């Protein structure tokens, strides 16, 4: 599917000082069908903003028939340009991550969803995805009931409750507010989210009654889907499998009109 690319700048206020946030848009295009409508997906980036790997990820999703919005997360501090995948870039990205207010992260997500829904070509069904910091932001985006599904790649800081200024987010405590379906993906060799942290996330989601899938890849490390400067961690085979899982979830929840979930328990027969 063909793709057109553009961007919009929207005003934000939750940081205390109004600042424009750039949202990069990747829009599918089918020649001869100018009235075609598509679901929307918000793609949240890692701590380096919208880099080349994030753009390629967004294009891959858009090419499957989704309008993708990728916000620049650090607009309070810098422009929309990506940070470098090096030591100084990593230090700056990590510093901004804990300087930014939690409410400002949530405002970014809300405005990104608003931007998608405002497009006449959007069918009104919204999903979210992201990696690293963006995995956590995709999870928090799912707290918005307009978001029907979220795929969270190696989401950091959920288990430690340390996102944003003050390092005391409420993401786990609010898990019960999620009404869409989640897919949590981690590498078992991820040093950023240890086994105890992954167990805590899984246990909490079960306890809160969230509909979710949880996939731990045996040999994968953190950032295993980053196809550039991944410090030897990029795994294209596993990335392909995880992308197929993303497409299954989004295809089932965003491209099909399911209506509201009934809430009835699904009885599973114990048969061979």
122 noted as active-site residue: no
Catalytic residue among 27, 136, 159, 222: 222
- Sheet of 211-217: strands edge to edge? 2-12, 19-29, 67-71, 38-44, 122-131, 147-153, 181-187, 211-217
Question: What secondary structure does DSSP assign to 74-101, as a single string?
Answer: TTTTS-SSPPPSSHHHHHHHHHHHHHS-
CA 60, 62, 65, 66 torsion-angle sign = positive
Catalytic residue among 106, 108, 144, 190: 190
- What letter would DSSP give residue 255? S
Query: To 10 degrees, the CA torsion angle through 227, 228, 229, 230?
Result: -10
132 noted as active-site residue: yes
Question: What secondary structure does DSSP assign to 109-146, as a single string?
Answer: HHHHHHHHHTSTTEEEEEEEEEETHHHHHHHHHTTSTT
270 noted as active-site residue: no
Cβ pair 128, 251 in contact under 8 A: no
Catalytic residue among 132, 136, 157, 159: 132
- Residues with active-site annotation: 132, 190, 222
């Amino acid at each position: 599917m063909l793709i057109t690319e553009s961007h919009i700048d929207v005003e934000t206020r939750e940081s205390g000082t109004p600042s424009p946030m750039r949202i990069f848009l990747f829009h599918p295009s089918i020649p001869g069908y100018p009235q075609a409508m598509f679901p929307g997906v918000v793609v949240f980036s890692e701590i380096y903003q919208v880099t080349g790997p994030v753009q390629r990820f967004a294009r891959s999703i858009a090419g499957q028939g989704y309008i993708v919005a990728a916000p620049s997360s650090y607009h309070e501090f810098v422009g929309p340009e990506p940070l470098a995948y090096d030591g100084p870039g990593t230090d700056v990205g990590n510093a901004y991550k804990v300087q930014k207010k939690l409410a400002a992260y949530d405002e970014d997500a809300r405005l990104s969803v608003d931007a998608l829904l405002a497009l006449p070509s959007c069918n009104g069904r919204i999903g979210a995805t992201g990696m690293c910091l963006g995995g956590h932001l995709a999870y928090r985006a799912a707290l918005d009931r307009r978001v029907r599904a979220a795929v969270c790649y190696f989401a950091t800081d959920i288990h430690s409750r340390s996102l944003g200024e003050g390092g005391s987010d409420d993401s786990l405590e609010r898990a019960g507010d999620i009404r869409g379906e989640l897919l949590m993906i981690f590498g078992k060799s991820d040093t950023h989210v240890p086994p105890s942290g992954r167990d805590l996330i899984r246990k909490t989601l079960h306890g809160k009654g969230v509909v979710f899938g949880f996939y731990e890849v045996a040999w994968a490390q953190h950032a295993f889907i980053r196809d550039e400067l991944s410090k030897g961690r990029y795994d294209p085979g596993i990335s392909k499998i995880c992308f197929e899982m993303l497409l299954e979830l989004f295809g089932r929840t965003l491209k099909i009109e399911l209506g509201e979930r009934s809430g009835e328990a699904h009885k599973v027969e114990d048969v061979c």
